[in-house]
Amino acid sequence: MSTPSSEAPARPFVRATVVRAQEPASARPGDSAVVLPDGTIDGFVGGQCSVEAVRSTALESLRTREAVLLRVLPDHGPAFPDSPGAVVVVNPCLSGGALEIYLEPMLPTSVVRVVGDSPTARALADLAPTVGFPVCGEDDATLPGSLLAVVVATHGGDEVGAVRAALADGAGFVGIVSSRTRGRAVLVELSAAGLTDDELARVHPHVGVDIGARTPQEIAVAIVAALVRAVRVDGARPLEPSDEVAEPVTAVDPVCGMTVVVHDGTPHAVVDGEHVWFCCPGCRDAHLAAAAPGSA
């Protein structure tokens, strides 16, 4: 999971920066743009053909939350230095030159909500921010980011209700500070309350990595370790619908073979009753010129 290099945005987007360019590419190193989850691009990273490659790769980067180095190359252009691990797009409709564009997903801060006022809850609230997990309380009206996890540390009380509320709020990880016996009992109650298997899989009773913790501070260390593992190994993340990136609708340009993201601004035509999308108006015009009568 990629971590933003500087400020965290309120909503996710991808920062696209041209890091290398060959003549006669129109973009220059340092040119940049942002790509929103709906595919909207604000800024300049080259002509229409490179923009489509940036759009589709950026949306994939946003879904995986991993940074990508995109290489956009002409079909028969000059050699360009190898970049192991980069995503390569060979585009026959480029006017020449080549581009390398760094795509960095910028993600909202992942917030941990701590429920309860027990010594463990207070120790966790002190420790979690030191490893990059801002903490909010159960009564906070607004979040300084997206709700990654909720840790229920009431040591009794309405733990079932707190877990259900956390799941409803979109927490990708819900931990319960409890004994193993109490944790199993809470899972039984949650199952009887109608939670789905997917919801139950997000619930972690007796939360924490087993380090033999005893004191509230040691238990907090174990819980933070579990949160780090959930993010880095298991891919846990907030589940708010506003932060989810839907898989885009794509089509293949029949002229140049480029895969394009279908959106309101994608060049489009209807040929013999079939919808066709293109990377740029030039490909559309060429296709229409060669199409049978009846094109639109």
Mean pLDDT over residues 99-118, rounded?
A: 90
> Interhelix angle for 119-127 vs 216-232, to 10°?
50
Total number of domains in the chain: 3
Single out the residue in 56, 80, 106 at which a domain terminates: 106
- Would 242 be classed as within a structural domain? no
Least confident of 77-81, 114-118, 281-285: 77-81
User: In the chain, what percentage of residues exceed pLDDT 90?
Assistant: 38
- Would 90 be classed as within a structural domain? yes
Is the pLDDT reported for residue 285 higher than 70? Answer: yes
**Residue among 259, 261, 265, 264 at smallest CA distance from 92:** 259
pLDDT of res. 96: 64
**Is the domain of 128 the same as that of 194?**
yes
Distance between CA atoms of residues 189 and 184, nearest Å: 9
Full DSSP string of 84-151: TT-EEEEETT--S--EEEEEEEE---EEEEEE--SHHHHHHHHHGGGGT--EEETT-SS-SSEEEEEE
- Would 3 be classed as within a structural domain? no
- Would 6 be classed as within a structural domain? no
**Is the domain of 229 the same as that of 285?**
no
Single out the residue in 57, 77, 106 at which a domain terminates: 106
Least confident of 23-27, 100-104, 216-220: 23-27
**Is the domain of 82 the same as that of 130?**
no
**Is the domain of 121 the same as that of 163?**
yes
- Highest-confidence segment of 78-82, 95-99, 274-278: 274-278
**Is the domain of 210 the same as that of 177?**
yes
Q: How many CA atoms lie within 13 A of 242 on its CB side?
A: 8
Domain that holds residue 179: 110-237
**Is the domain of 72 the same as that of 137?**
no
**Is the domain of 148 the same as that of 223?**
yes
In this prediction the pTM is: 0.61
- Would 4 be classed as within a structural domain? no
**Is the domain of 96 the same as that of 165?**
no
**Is the domain of 88 the same as that of 148?**
no
Structure-token pair, residue 93: 């409709």
**Is the domain of 114 the same as that of 207?**
yes
**Is the domain of 176 the same as that of 228?**
yes
Peptide bond into 238 cis (omega under 30): no
Q: 101: which strand partners?
A: 18, 70
| pLDDT tens digits, one per residue of 112-135 | 999 999 999 999 999 999 998 999
pLDDT of res. 33: 95
- Would 94 be classed as within a structural domain? yes
- Would 32 be classed as within a structural domain? yes
**Is the domain of 269 the same as that of 165?**
no
Phi, psi for residue 200 in degrees, rounded to 5: -65, -30
pLDDT of res. 241: 45
- Would 267 be classed as within a structural domain? yes
| pLDDT tens digits, one per residue of 253-281 | 888 777 788 877 788 888 888 888 887 78
Structure-token pair, residue 21: 């360019």
Q: 88-93 — which CB contacts under 8 Å span 24+ positions?
A: 89/53, 89/57, 89/258, 91/49, 91/50, 91/53, 91/256, 91/258, 91/279, 92/256, 92/257, 93/49, 93/255, 93/256, 93/258, 93/279, 93/280, 93/282, 93/283
- Residue 189: CATH number of its domain: 3.40.50.720
Residue with tokens 């995109």: 70
